[in-house]
Amino acid sequence: MKAHQLWFTGPQQVEIREQQLPPLQPGQIRVKTHCSAISAGTEMLVYRGQLPADITLDATLASLQHPQTYPLQYGYACVGRIEQIGAAVDGLWQDRLVFAFQPHASHFIATPEQVIALPDDIEPEAAVFLANMETAVSLVLDGNPALGEQVAVLGLGIVGLLLTSLLAQFPLAQLHALDGIAGRRARALRLGVQQVYDPASEIQVAALKQSLQLPVQLSATPGAGADLIYEVSGVPEALNLAIDLCSYSGRIVIGSWYGGKSASLHLGGAAHRNRIKFISSQVSTIAPELTGRWDKARRFQTAWDMIRRVRPQELISHRLSLDQADVIYDLLDKTPEQVLQAIFVY
């Protein structure tokens, strides 16, 4: 059996390789991929050569435990059907639709422990959002939005849009969202955000600050500023805007992975005076105080429930074959405003 695999061979370079898969070993399964989703935020780091050199691609996924040097495979949102099972694998796995944290490929070999069976009522094109929906669920858990709070989301890529769709279900005082792409802002309004803003517009940012009743001078004004801010734009400089918008003793949840990018942060003013809390959120693990109640299985079950409720497959803007990879990555790199969610269909 030969598989067609996507490889990143250098900055702005992708290649489709045909690889012979080895015979199945006992305990293994072979999956024929139905579709896989491009996670633009992280995959653009790979495509642009912006990965940090001092950590693995992922802390927990076996498929991404390899050196961050080209050529490399990447991707973590595959849905396919099990077409062959090895010895010692329960026959119930045969022909099952499954989700896997696997790089983009037409076929792959895994073990039953490395895949997640799709619920019967979840379509493959909805299931490819499982990884990003789990991220959105983890962000909500880390931020812990409360009744009557002012909440702002910086960045309306797929994770930002999924996050806002979850936050819109809370009894918040106001839900604000910021993004430089007008189409994403319009989508956020349809998902339940009350107000959207272009962070590049001084007038719009000033209007947001006025809505949040932020004082001109630094002061601990009760009720002023956003109680909770999510930074999921992938742009490190956005943290300075988050600091400017944050309330006294407010929380800024950092959900972006910046890769090798860095920025100069303004920590000597409001960040210092207002006792702002910075929370690093990463889906591979969860805060220690939640682990006793929120294990991985519960987070996945919640993510499936949110997929049923939100119907994220409506966010898919591009369906392409794997041999069109160079086209879609170039589009994401140069004109990201033209793409909402791209998936490969096999």
What CATH number is given to the structural domain containing 225? 3.40.50.720
- Are 164 and 265 contained in the same domain? yes
Q: Is the dihedral of CA 253, 127, 334, 185 positive or negative?
A: negative
User: Residue 63: what pLDDT?
Assistant: 52
- Are 117 and 158 contained in the same domain? no
User: Residue 219: what pLDDT?
Assistant: 55
CB 139 within 8 A of CB 253: yes
- Are 261 and 157 contained in the same domain? yes
CATH number at residue 326: 3.90.180.10
User: Residue 53: what pLDDT?
Assistant: 72
**Residue after which a domain boundary falls, among 235, 257, 280:** 280
The 10s digit of each residue's pLDDT in 256-271 is: 998 888 888 888 888 8
- Are 149 and 62 contained in the same domain? no
User: Residue 221: what pLDDT?
Assistant: 65
- Are 325 and 201 contained in the same domain? no
Residue 294 lies in a domain: no
**Separation in Å, CA 33 to CA 9, 303, 320:** 22, 21, 14
User: Residue 270: what pLDDT?
Assistant: 85
- Are 18 and 89 contained in the same domain? yes
Q: Phi-psi category of 249—alpha, beta or left, where left has phi over 0 and alpha has psi -120 to 50?
A: left
Q: Phi-psi category of 181—alpha, beta or left, where left has phi over 0 and alpha has psi -120 to 50?
A: beta
- Are 144 and 107 contained in the same domain? no
**Residue after which a domain boundary falls, among 259, 280, 301:** 280
Q: What residues make up the domain containing 218?
A: 132-280
Cis peptide before 119 (omega within 30 of 0): no
User: Residue 269: what pLDDT?
Assistant: 84
Prediction pTM value? 0.93
Low-confidence ranges of the chain (pLDDT < 50): none
CB atoms < 10 A from the CB of 291, how many? Answer: 11
Residue 304 lies in a domain: no
User: Residue 37: what pLDDT?
Assistant: 98
User: Residue 225: what pLDDT?
Assistant: 95
- Are 138 and 177 contained in the same domain? yes
Tokens of 102: 């696997």
Tokens of 216: 């001109």
The 10s digit of each residue's pLDDT in 113-122 is: 999 999 999 9
- Are 18 and 82 contained in the same domain? yes
Residue 31 lies in a domain: yes
User: Residue 28: what pLDDT?
Assistant: 98
Query: What is the rounded distance in angstroms from the CA atom of residue 228 to the CA atom of residue 116?
Result: 32
Query: What is the rounded distance in angstroms from the CA atom of residue 20 to the CA atom of residue 1?
Result: 6
Q: Which of 303, 306, 246 is nearest to 279 (CA)?
A: 246
Residue 296 lies in a domain: no
Query: What is the rounded distance in angstroms from the CA atom of residue 215 to the CA atom of residue 219?
Result: 7
- Are 149 and 231 contained in the same domain? yes
Query: What is the rounded distance in angstroms from the CA atom of residue 22 to the CA atom of residue 109?
Result: 9
Residue type, 319: R
Residue 201 lies in a domain: yes
